[in-house]
Amino acid sequence: KTVYRKKNTTSGSKIDYDKESRQRKIDGILDKISKSGYESLSKAEKDFLFKAGKED
C-alpha cells in the first residue's frame, strides 16, 4: 500500500491568517457603516471595501 501525503507548508496557515484578518477588517468597516452610515467611512476604508467586494 502506498500513501501519498501533502507536504505541510507554513504558507497555508499564513493564507488562513490573512483571510481571517481581512475578514475582521471588513467586519469592522461594516459595523462602522451600521452605526454611523456609509458617509462616515474614510476614502481608504471605502476603497478597501470596494476591492474586497470585487475579489469575492
Tens of pLDDT along 27-50?
999 999 999 999 999 999 999 999
Residue 14 has pLDDT above 70, yes or no: no
- Whole-model pTM: value is 0.67
3 part of a folded domain: no
How many structural domains is the chain composed of?
Answer: 1
51 part of a folded domain: yes
Report the C-alpha gap between 11 and 7 in whole angstroms. 11
29 part of a folded domain: yes
Residue range(s) defining the domain that contains residue 28: 10-55
39 part of a folded domain: yes
4 part of a folded domain: no
Asked if residues 29 and 48 have their Cβ atoms less than 8 Å apart, the reply is yes
